[in-house]
Chains A and B, each alone.
Chain A
Amino acid sequence: MGDRTTINKKKKDLRYLTSGNEACGEGAIRAGCRFYAGYPITPQNELTSYMSKRMEEERGVFIQAESEIAAISMVHGASAAGARAMTSSSSPGISLKQEGISYIAATELPCVIVNVMRGGPGLGNISPAQGDYFQATKGGGHGDYRLIVLAPSSVQEMFDLTYGAFALADKYSTPVMILADGMLGQMMEPLEFDRAIKPPDEIKKPWALTGAKGRKGKSTKSLLLGTGALEGHNIKLQKKYKEIEKKETRSEEYKTEDAEIVVCAYGSVARIARSAVDTLRKNGIKAGSLRPVSLWPFPSKPVKKLALRGAKFLVVEMSAGQMVEDVALAVQNSGQMGFYGRMGGGVPEEKEIVRRAKALNSRGKCKGEKKK
C-alpha cells in the first residue's frame, strides 16, 4: 500500500503534501484524539492505517475492530471513560454504525465519526458520492437526535474541521460527523499547520465514568423507563440542538454580493461549482456560489437571504438530490430552484453546471433536468 504522506516531524517546512484521509487523521491527533477504532473499507483505508501508526507514536489506542459495529461500540466505551475518541468508515460501514451513533447521541457522549462517502446504495462502488446526506443530517439512527455534520471541501479542511470537531463535540457533549467523499479522501494537496499546535481547548471530562471514588455509583445510559423521563430527556436534547443551530451554523459564499444565480454545493462538488461560477461570470452572468460547511445545522439563513433578494439556486450534488430538500425548505419557493445530480459515483461536470445555470437564470426552470 505504501505511505504516500510526507508529514514528517523533522521537516522545517510548515506545508505538507498529503491526502485528505491522512490530513483528517493528523487533525484528530493534534486535537488530542487518543482512541481510534475502525475497520478497513475503501476509500478511507489510508485514514485507518495512518491512525494505526500515529496512535502508537502518541501512546494512544488504535484498534482494528472486528466490524464497524464493534468499532462504534468501542468509541462509545472509550468516550464514556473520558477519551477523545474517533471512528471512520465509508457509506455501508456508516450504515452499520447507526444504532451505536443513536446510543452515543442519546447518552450525550462526545465523539467524532468520519464518513468518506462512496457510491451507493448497497455495495455500490468506490467512487466518491454524496448519497449519505440524508443519513447524516436526518437521522440514520433511530430516535430524535441530531448529529453536527461538517463538510470539508479541501485537504486543508479535512485537517481543520477534524481538528475543531473534538472541542465542538465536547462543548455540546454530542457526536460530530465529518462528511467527506472519496475524492477528498484520496486527493493530494498541500496542508499547512503549525507543527507545535496543541488541542484548541482544555480537555475537561468531569462526567467521565472512571470509578465511583468518593461518590455513589453512576450509570451512563440511555434507557429511561420512568413516567415522563424519556420525554423530559428528549426535551433537553432538543434544547441543546436549538442552541447548536443558533451558534454553530457555517457556510461560505463566493461572489454572491450581486449574484442572480447561486450554485449551491458542498464538499468536492463545491470546488467544481466555484469554477462554474468563474466561467459564468466570464460569460457575463452574475453568478455566485454558496457552500454549506455545516450540513447540520443547515445554513438556512444565508440561503433565505439570497432567495429573498431574488437569487435563483442551482443545487448540485453527487446524489439523486438530498441537500436540495434543505435548500428548498429554506427557499420555500421551488420556482427559484433547479437541481443537477450525478449518482453512483458520477461526478458533476463544470460545463453542465454552467449550461443549467444559464438556463435557470434566463428561464426560471432548468432545461434538460431529466438528463444525467
Chain B
Amino acid sequence: MTDAPTHYCPGCGHGIAHRLVCEVIDELGMRENTIAVAPVGCAVLAYDYWDFDTLEAAHGRTPAVATGVKRILPEKLVFTYQGDGDLAAIGTAEIIHAGSRGEKLSVVFINNGVYGMTGGQMAPTTIIGQTTSTSQYTRRSDKEGFPIKILEMMSVLPGVVYLERTSLHSPGEVLKTKRAIKRSFETQLEGKGFSMVEVLSPCPTYWGLDPVRSMERIEKVISKEYPLGVVKPAIAV
C-alpha cells in the first residue's frame, strides 16, 4: 500500500478490503507481476493506495478490460476490484461473460448495497425496505424489484470455479475475507479458471448509521439476504 491519506469515509469498508488485497499480494510475492483493473465508484481512486500496476476501466467494463490484459499477459496476476453498480448493474453482461468464458481472473466484489460515489442511490444489491436517494419510499419489490445475487447466478457457469461470500463485520470475518481473496488469487495462478469473492462491506454515510452500527447491520440484516459462505468450492488440488 502507499502512504496516501485516505479519501474514504470514516467506517468505510474499502480501507480494510484494500489492505487485505495488498497483504495477500505481498504474501504471494506478486507485487511486480500484478495488474489490477479499477472500477468506477468510490474505489475509482484505489490506484492511489496500491503500489502495483493498475488500469482504469469504463464503468462496468472492468472484467472485459481485465480479459484483454490477462489474454496478453497470461503469467501475471490480473484482478478486478468492483462495487455494486460496476459489477451488478451496468457491468452485468461483462461479469457473466468473463465467467462464462472461464477467463483466469479474480474478482473482488465489494457489496455495500448502495452507490456511494454518486450520492447513495439504490443499487441492484439494495435490500427490500432500504431507503436510498432513489428509493426514498424504501425499496419495494413491486416497484423497485428484488436485490440481485450475482454469486449464486454465476455458480451455474462451468468456467467459474470458485465463489465465496465473506464479510468485514468482525475480526474473524475480516480474516475469512483475506483467506478467500488469497484462495481466489491462487486459483488464478494455478490456471484453474474464474473466481470471485463478494465482500459485504459497510457504507455508514449512506446507511445513515455510525460505523459500529453499520457492522452490526451487516451481521444481523444483510447477511440474512446475502448468506455468507462458499457458494462454489475451489477445485481441490
Contact = CB atoms under 8 A, between A and B. Distances in A.
Interface stretch (A10-18, A213-221, A300-308, A357-365): A213-221
B96 to A, nearest CB: 8
Contact of A220 (B56, B66, B96): B56
B32 A74 contact: no
A328 to B, nearest CB: 35
Given A100-B58, A210-B73, A74 B47 contact: no
Interface string B27-57: 0000111110110000011010011111111
Size range of the interface on A?
A: 35 or more
Contact of B71 (A67, A76, A78, A216): A78
Contact of B69 (A66, A80, A221): A80
A79 B71 CA distance: 11
A284 to B, nearest CB: 57
Select the residue from A78, A211, A218 with max chain B CB neighbours within 10 A.
A211
A73 B58 contact: yes
B72 interface: yes
Contacts of B33: 211, 213
Interface in B51-101: 51-58, 61, 64-73, 76, 93-94, 96-97, 101
A107 interface: yes
A200 to B, nearest CB: 21
Contacts of B52: 211-212, 217
A333 to B, nearest CB: 43
Contacts of B97: 65-66, 70
Contacts of A41: none
B32 A213 contact: yes
A101 B61 CA distance: 13
Contacts of B58: 73, 76, 99-100, 103
Interface residues of B, number: 36
A70 B94 contact: yes
A188 interface: no
A78 B69 contact: yes
A107 B37 CA distance: 14
Nearest to A37: B68
A295 B66 CA distance: 32
Contact of B31 (A37, A80, A212): A212
Interface in B184-229: none
A74 B35 contact: no
Nearest to A103: B58
Contacts of A219: 47, 53-56
Contact of A63 (B37, B44, B71): B71
A11 B141 CA distance: 66
A77 B55 contact: yes
B35 A223 contact: no
Given A67-B93, A73-B94, A79 B68 contact: yes
Nearest to B54: A219
B75 to A, nearest CB: 9
A67 B35 CA distance: 24
A102 to B, nearest CB: 8
Nearest to B93: A66
A212 B71 contact: no
Nearest to B35: A209
A213 B29 CA distance: 12
A220 B71 contact: no
A22 B32 CA distance: 40
A264 B134 CA distance: 53
Interface in B96-111: 96-97, 101
Contacts of A5: none
Contacts of A63: 67, 71, 101
A85 interface: yes
B54 A65 contact: no
Contact of B64 (A73, A85, A212): A73
Interface string A183-215: 000000000000000000000000001111110
A303 B33 CA distance: 52
Contacts of A222: 56
B64 to A, nearest CB: 4
B73 A81 contact: yes
Contact of B34 (A71, A211, A214): A211
A213 B30 CA distance: 10
B54 A70 contact: no
A320 interface: no
B9 to A, nearest CB: 17
A236 to B, nearest CB: 18
Contacts of B55: 77, 80, 209, 219-221
Contacts of A35: 68, 71-72
Contacts of B53: 209-212, 217-220
A69 interface: yes
Interface of A: 35, 37, 61, 63, 65-67, 69-71, 73-83, 85, 99-100, 103, 107, 209-214, 216-223
The 8 A-B pairs at the shortest CB distance, nearest first, are namely A77-B68, A221-B56, A73-B61, A73-B64, A78-B68, A77-B65, A74-B68, A219-B47
9 contacts: A73-B57, A77-B72, A81-B73, A82-B72, A211-B35, A212-B53, A217-B47, A219-B54, A221-B38
Given A76-B57, A210-B76, 7 more contacts: A61-B72, A63-B101, A77-B37, A77-B64, A211-B33, A218-B54, A220-B54
